[in-house]
Amino acid sequence: MTATVEAGPADRLHSVPLRRVVGQVRRAGPLGLLDGLGDRARGQIVRLNLGPFRPFLVTHPDHLQHILRTHAADYPRGAAMWSALGRLTGKGIGGEGAQWHASREILQTAFSAGYLKSMSGQMIDSITGAVDDLAARAGQPIDAGVEMTRVVQRVVDPVFFGSLIPDGEGDRLGEAVATAMGSLLWRMAMPFVPHAVPMPGDRPFKRATRTVNEILRPVLAQARKDQRDGADIVTKLMRGTGADGQPLTDDQICEDIVALFVAGSESSAIALTWIWVSIVQHADVYERVRAEVDAVVGDGPLRREHVRELTYTQMVLREVLRIYSVGWAVPRMATKDDVIDGVEIPAGSTLVITPYLTHRLEEFWPDPLKFDPDRFTREQVRARHPLAYMPFGNGAHQCLGEAFFHQEAALIVAGMLRRFDVALAGPVAPKLSLTLQPREPVELVLTPR
């Protein structure tokens, strides 16, 4: 499917009229529209004419460098997505400006190499326990999204909350955050509508955020009462100060925790689901990963050192995140008039960075739709543009949890493959939502080895 676009000045800008956007979405859905835009533009800037909302789509690494590095101060958060998402994640680590900087300073230590090393034993215990629980359901289809969410929540509970979340509440918190995220789509699509005007999704959003607060407020109250001396994120935030030099309020702490939960739990679970889809759909990759797990881990317990030794598995994880860019859209707002590669960018414009399309540019990824983990050998990585691959973003707002995810994901894959043969119970197709996720539940069948 190919999108029809009209060339702009100097053939550097493609403009897509509203009628064609609507027609493409009707014929092929939002993902089909995005694929078609990428096929036709091939790295050039595209402008979508959506009535009063006219965002630019930006995909080429040179253009991304301009926005995220060279002129990053001129392209802050604050566009449609962040305005809508900010109702859930606040103005701290999920926002921009002085308070974002204060929250990031607090949280950086929570994702340092030293902290990951200190928490690796707890992470491994959590993963091993979760895999043991899955053995009871071997032989029957399981929902990969549900189960990977449970595994991830079992990992993040001690890291984020110091194991303060009561049993069963982790699932409830995850469901509430997912509901709140999904209900923001209309607000994102129509950012010019005032929040005072009711829109679809508002009611489930309010219910979900009420549930989030019902779960997190008692956690904070208990943590303050206990005067904890742990290294978990709740404790770090309680000890931290905001941009005004004052201790963070409970509101600010809750918002930062939710922002981290979105990235550390929901997005991670979606990525892990795509990992299983990708491995199982490519038999040669599956066999290489399993052989590596057998050689590195064997019959012994999982160890943190295995993460570095699982070199091919890590290449597979990176290729999965290239093909299935969970965070497929990353918006920025131009604060002043600018020119990018000959294209005029008026102040106030929304620019939507699309890693999903960047990861499909043939200039950097030959045969881009082919699943090929060998793209991530050291030699190939060094030879590529540094912004040709950005599943965790780039620049000042690059995700703090990148190393955490790779450690967690490698250990989960190793923990499961040494215990089970994994198969898919049915076909899987992606869809665009706030994230890139499976259209239908992904069913896995686990067979004991």
Give the end-to-end CA distance of the chain in Å, rounded to a whole number.
42
Residue whose structure tokens are 């620049």 = 395
Structure tokens at 88: 């859930």
- Angle at 369 (CA atoms; ends 367, 375), nearest 5 degrees: 65
399 labelled ligand-binding: yes
CB count in 10 Å sphere of residue 428: 20
Spatial CB neighbours of 70, under 8 Å, sequence gap ≥ 6 = none
Positions of E strands within 67-167: 141-143
- Give CA–CA dist 353/107, Å, rounded: 25
Residue type present at position 321: L
- Give CA–CA dist 7/16, Å, rounded: 9
Region class of 338: left (phi > 0), else alpha (psi between -120 and 50), else beta: beta
Structure tokens at 33: 């529209």
Cα torsion angle, 265, 268, 272, 277, sign: positive
- Binding site members for heme: 399
Residue numbers belonging to the annotated binding site: 399
